């Protein structure tokens, strides 16, 4: 993969580690962080042999088909604030995908019947198109020893670019971008579009150290916005209408009696009542 020639970013990717094959770009970035790698270091691989997903799952990462990358950040942030950056990356992926799929005359081929863009976010950070997942994001932390602060933060992103056989459990709710676009896509170009968008949103994030400046745009991308969702809380499932996120990234769900509950990522899953999204 020729990455350097595509990257037009300001600061992400000043150091690039581009590998043919690696266990996991997150693990590689973690190792590099421990050796002092700088903020903005980018790890990209053509294949992962032990790709990691959320909740201990694996992320199928065959060679030559998809995009697997991790960026290393060193924000001065309490560890419990790190999850917000996963939402920031989800927005950047959505924007990058929209950019790369748009036609030369600026049209968005993926629009829904009501004229909205077909690229959205299923809270907190799955990027979906027509209800099917195209991207997964896994954020991991190295903590400073003896202190309650982040030493480095690794945002790992996998985007399904080319057609592939999805594992059985993903069939039906995963999709690859080339299948939608009906043409071959350049992974380097997509990566550049995503990272450029990330630099913009991360700049907004740093102004307030929360999502205040980008919340409105996030809510506009939220596929469940104003729709009934089921919250799979281990303490008891419930349904309500998704009312967008708080400035700190939690989902607001309104119950039938008007009570508003705050849903924290990591503890629960949220599903559309008619399926995955």
- In angstroms, what is the minimal distance from the CB of 23 to ligand BTN? 8
124 binds ligand BTN (CB under 6 A): no
Closest CB to ligand BTN among residues 29, 110: 29
13 binds ligand BTN (CB under 6 A): no
DSSP 169-222: TTTTTB--HHHHHTS---HHHHHHHHHHHHHHHHHHHHHHTSSTTTHHHHHHHB
Closest CB to ligand BTN among residues 59, 205: 59
Q: What is the largest CA-CA distance in the chain?
A: 55
Tell me how far apart the alpha carbons of residues 241 and 229 are, in angstroms, rounded to a whole number. Answer: 6
118 binds ligand BTN (CB under 6 A): no
Tell me how far apart the alpha carbons of residues 238 and 103 are, in angstroms, rounded to a whole number. Answer: 42
Closest CB to ligand BTN among residues 68, 205: 68
Out of 9, 25, 65, 152, the only residue in the binding site for ligand BTN (CB under 6 A) is 25
- In angstroms, what is the minimal distance from the CB of 19 to ligand BTN? 12
Number of residues that bind ligand BTN (CB under 6 A): 18
Binding region for ligand BTN (CB under 6 A) out of 102-110, 132-140, 221-229, 258-266: 132-140
Site for ligand BTN in 51-110 (CB under 6 A): 51-54, 57, 59, 68, 70
Asked if residue 221 has a cis previous peptide bond (ω within 30° of 0), the answer is no
- In angstroms, what is the minimal distance from the CB of 143 to ligand BTN? 19
Angle 189-192-195 from CA coordinates, rounded to 5°: 150
31 binds ligand BTN (CB under 6 A): no
24 binds ligand BTN (CB under 6 A): yes
Query: Which residues, 6 or more positions from 74, have their beta carbon under 8 angstroms from its beta carbon?
Result: 38, 39, 150, 151, 152, 153
Binding region for ligand BTN (CB under 6 A) out of 91-99, 134-142, 213-221, 258-266: 134-142
230 binds ligand BTN (CB under 6 A): no
**123 near 218, Cβ under 8 Å?**
no
Tell me how far apart the alpha carbons of residues 193 and 95 are, in angstroms, rounded to a whole number. Answer: 8
136 binds ligand BTN (CB under 6 A): yes
Closest CB to ligand BTN among residues 9, 160: 160
- In angstroms, what is the minimal distance from the CB of 140 to ligand BTN? 9
Which helix (H) or strand (E) segment holds residue 87: the answer is: helix 83-101
* CA-atom Rg of the chain in angstroms: 18
With b meaning 16 or more CB within 10 Å and e meaning fewer, what string describes 87-124?
A: bbbbbbbbbbbbbbbeeeeeeeebeeeeeebbbbbbbb
Q: In what order do the strands lie in the sheet with 251-254?
A: 260-263, 251-254, 238-245, 228-232, 269-272
Closest CB to ligand BTN among residues 121, 240: 121
Closest CB to ligand BTN among residues 27, 214: 27
Site for ligand BTN in 139-178 (CB under 6 A): 156-158
**Contact residues for ligand BTN (CB under 6 A)?**
24-26, 48, 51-54, 57, 59, 68, 70, 136-138, 156-158
């Amino acid at each position: 993969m020729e990455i350097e020639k595509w990257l037009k970013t300001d600061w992400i990717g000043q150091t690039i580690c581009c590998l043919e094959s690696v266990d996991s770009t997150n693990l590689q970035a973690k190792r590099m962080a421990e050796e002092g790698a700088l903020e903005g270091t980018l790890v990209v691989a053509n294949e992962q042999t032990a790709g990691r997903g959320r909740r201990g799952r694996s992320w199928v990462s065959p060679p030559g088909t998809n995009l697997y990358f991790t960026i290393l950040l060193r924000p001065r942030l309490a560890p419990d604030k790190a999850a917000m950056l996963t939402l920031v990356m989800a927005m950047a992926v959505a924007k990058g995908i929209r950019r790369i799929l748009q036609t030369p005359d600026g049209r968005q081929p993926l629009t829904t019947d009501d004229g909205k863009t077909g690229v959205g976010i299923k809270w907190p950070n799955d990027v979906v198109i027509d209800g099917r997942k195209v991207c997964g994001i896994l954020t991991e932390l190295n903590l400073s020893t003896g202190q309650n602060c982040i030493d480095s933060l690794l945002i790992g992103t996998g985007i399904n670019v080319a057609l592939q056989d999805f594992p059985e459990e993903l069939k039906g709710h995963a999709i690859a971008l080339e299948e939608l676009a009906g043409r071959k896509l350049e992974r380097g170009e997509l990566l550049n579009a995503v990272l450029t968008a990330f630099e913009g949103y991360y700049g907004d994030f740093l102004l307030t150290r929360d999502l205040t400046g980008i919340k409105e745009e996030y809510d506009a991308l939220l596929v469940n916005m104003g729709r009934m969702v089921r919250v799979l809380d281990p303490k008891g499932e419930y349904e309500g209408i998704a009312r967008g996120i708080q400035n700190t990234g939690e989902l607001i769900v309104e119950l039938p009696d008007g009570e508003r509950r705050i849903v924290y990522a990591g503890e629960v899953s949220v599903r559309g009542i008619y399926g995955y999204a």
